[in-house]
Structure 1
């Protein structure tokens, strides 16, 4: 249910805030960016709270909070009110992602954890697409009432998802004698470094949603409508193959291999998208873009698998919520700056921008083996495990 609301909200919020609430686009972008960045700071403390109170209890609370906080956007009409709403809503969004992974980790037996995470992502993509379809109706309707009703639906979806969670088995809190101080994850420099570098691979998402449409429109002969088609095709292949690919990350060596595959494939994707700008008939340019999409899908599948495998294998026991909060915040930070970075590179440096992105993807994956060895040496036997 929450993914349905997410697909609805994230497909319409920019138009809603500018056309209905009347906030200038520049002010909106700055407020959402700054507010989103501030909201990321909540992920680690909320994760630590999940360790202290139980992951299920905290996830329910975060889900309800997300449903209530999205209603703040009904009352935003200037920069400052939007800044506050964005910070609070992003805090609940990012915190929820970390606690969700923690909850699945604690509820599932070792051999099922990554599979269940992958299955959850498949369901999430399907329901997210349904939400995006509902947003298309809202956008075509264009009335203020339709937008306000959509915000209410987003809120309701989050609250209903919290109701479903009540039926899950409780997850006991970490006993007081074994609790972390709440800063254990951020002081674990090998883990922090690993999550920060591999998080750069999540630039694959704004690459497809922000960079490719602009590239198609202004630099290639391929039709611009190919951009939404790539999103649909990508979602389809994720639904078909995420579970299978994720199994490769069930041990640390497999997760490292998946990281390398992700970095290399996403670099190839960038080079192919750049090549689509060469003078060519629309059909040939479109085929080059689709070849780049193939590499993108392969890279994204392996990135997600590696991210789960690395973060679950290398987090510390009895601080799972805190560590997953840190993992969510590093990925969230990239999501915050990603669209602006991608847009700047693609529209400013053109083909050279795609080359820079290719280097970033390769460089993000390169230190993974060394950082994993450092993390294992630093953690000794206190690291958790997937299985």
Structure 2
């Protein structure tokens, strides 16, 4: 295994602050762009709405395929260098949206942009893992997610102002600002310490992560829990509008409340997944909570009182927050604990790709299940959340037993 760096406490604080700053400026740009891209591309750039959906969907799917080769490069060239390059390319590719007005250029731009976005997620986790001392990776990732939620909300607030304008200038300026956030993030990353790549003699083949079928199975099954984001952003607003007595404005309020609660509790809940056995348990808790959330949302269609319907929706939201918190903790814990030494980049690329695929199809899948099914769609989603966690314990069993044996061996040697 690549030895972890040992640093003074003050140096760690500086490093962590720079990681959080890099994450924060990127999150602001993401919140700005993802809150306005549909209106920008259709209204300002004149691309037909149907073409936008198809181009962004296909382009995003193509972009997911690039993450694994970039993960392999991370192991060969160094995590900081690859993350810096990917972030700089995100700045460049985001500007492409300024110059397109038809389907094919949009598809290419979406593929390029999504490929760098997905690659950045996996490479960032691998970089933080290799950069931080033992046991510090997940707490830092949790703090970064808190910063991400807060700055994403700020970016969405900026997008709200842009969307209130009728002139094209503010929209184009917002695209440029989004690009500048990636450039600023890259500048911060350049000041972080270099992490040497794994020596060639100790580096697995570039397809090692894909050939580790239990790892791929764990990442693929738990990735289905990422449907929780589409559930809140796509499914709930339509359900409120068409099938409940609750007002539709509860949906954006639910997103805001969810973000605040995530920011408050993510660091605490993440501790539950730091060990592999805890990560397995967290995945089970996530599935149960999200399944319960679906059933409570479905029940919100029964009362005719708007107040009672709102209370049910808020109850479902609380379960959703619990599920999302434990999902993130489980995802980090599983992917970090099951990685092979010297192949952190490609393993995290597999994790990012499986999650990215679910995120890409999530809105369409959730919308299809929720609309016009009289609550049965929520039941189907609840079943998905329950079933996707069932194989995790069995698939992780050998690794859990191995970790327990190693821990027992350490205790025996210490006692000796």
Match of 2:217 among 175, 190, 193: 193
Matches within 5 A, 1:250-329: 250-329=274-353
Greater shift in the superposed pair: 333-342 or 69-78: 69-78
1:151-206 per-residue CA deviation (whole Å, 9 max, x = no partner) reads: 00000000100000111110101111122321111111000000000000000001
Distance 1:96 1:201, change over 3 A: same
Matches within 5 A, 1:101-120: 101-120=125-144
Greater shift in the superposed pair: 344-353 or 322-331: 344-353
Matches within 5 A, 1:71-150: 71-150=95-174
Match of 1:161 among 139, 162, 185: 185
- Shift in Å, 1:371: 1.1
Q: TM-score, normalised by structure 2?
A: 0.90
SS at match of 2:66: helix
1:258-296 per-residue CA deviation (whole Å, 9 max, x = no partner) reads: 000000000000000001111321011000000000000
**Runs of 4+ residues deviating >4 angstroms:** 374-382
SS at match of 1:26: helix
Greater shift in the superposed pair: 111-120 or 177-186: 177-186
1:348 aligns with 2:365: no
1:279-332 per-residue CA deviation (whole Å, 9 max, x = no partner) reads: 321011000000000000000000000000000000111000000011000000
Paired with 1:143 and 1:315, the residues of 2 have a C-alpha distance of 49
Paired with 1:139 and 1:218, the residues of 2 have a C-alpha distance of 25
Aligned equivalent of 1:385: none
**Contact between 2:45 and 2:100, CA under 8 Å: does it hold in 1?**
yes
Distance 1:293 1:261, change over 3 A: same
Paired with 2:311 and 2:211, the residues of 1 have a C-alpha distance of 47
1:236 aligns with 2:260: yes
RMSD: 1.6
Match of 1:227 among 237, 246, 251: 251
1:338 aligns with 2:362: yes
Greater shift in the superposed pair: 171-180 or 280-289: 171-180
**Contact between 1:314 and 1:376, CA under 8 Å: does it hold in 2?**
no
Aligned equivalent of 2:7: none
Match of 1:13 among 37, 40, 51: 37
**Contact between 1:191 and 1:375, CA under 8 Å: does it hold in 2?**
no
Greater shift in the superposed pair: 92-101 or 21-30: 21-30
Paired with 2:192 and 2:75, the residues of 1 have a C-alpha distance of 17
SS at match of 1:348: coil
Greater shift in the superposed pair: 323-332 or 372-381: 372-381
What count of residue pairs does the alignment treat as equivalent? Answer: 382
Paired with 1:24 and 1:372, the residues of 2 have a C-alpha distance of 47
1:6-59 per-residue CA deviation (whole Å, 9 max, x = no partner) reads: 000000001111111111211111111110000001111111101111100110
Aligned equivalent of 1:360: 384
Match of 2:226 among 186, 192, 202: 202
Q: Which runs of 5 or more structure 2 residues have no equivalent in the other structure?
A: 1-24, 407-416
Distance 1:220 1:266, change over 3 A: same
Aligned equivalent of 1:69: 93
Aligned equivalent of 1:214: 238
Bigger CA radius of gyration: 2
**Contact between 1:197 and 1:365, CA under 8 Å: does it hold in 2?**
yes
Q: TM-score, normalised by structure 1?
A: 0.96
Distance 1:379 1:191, change over 3 A: farther
Match of 1:58 among 82, 95, 101: 82
Distance 1:175 1:381, change over 3 A: farther
Paired with 1:233 and 1:315, the residues of 2 have a C-alpha distance of 34
Paired with 1:344 and 1:305, the residues of 2 have a C-alpha distance of 28
Paired with 1:83 and 1:381, the residues of 2 have a C-alpha distance of 50
Q: Which runs of 5 or more structure 1 residues have no equivalent in the other structure?
A: 383-387
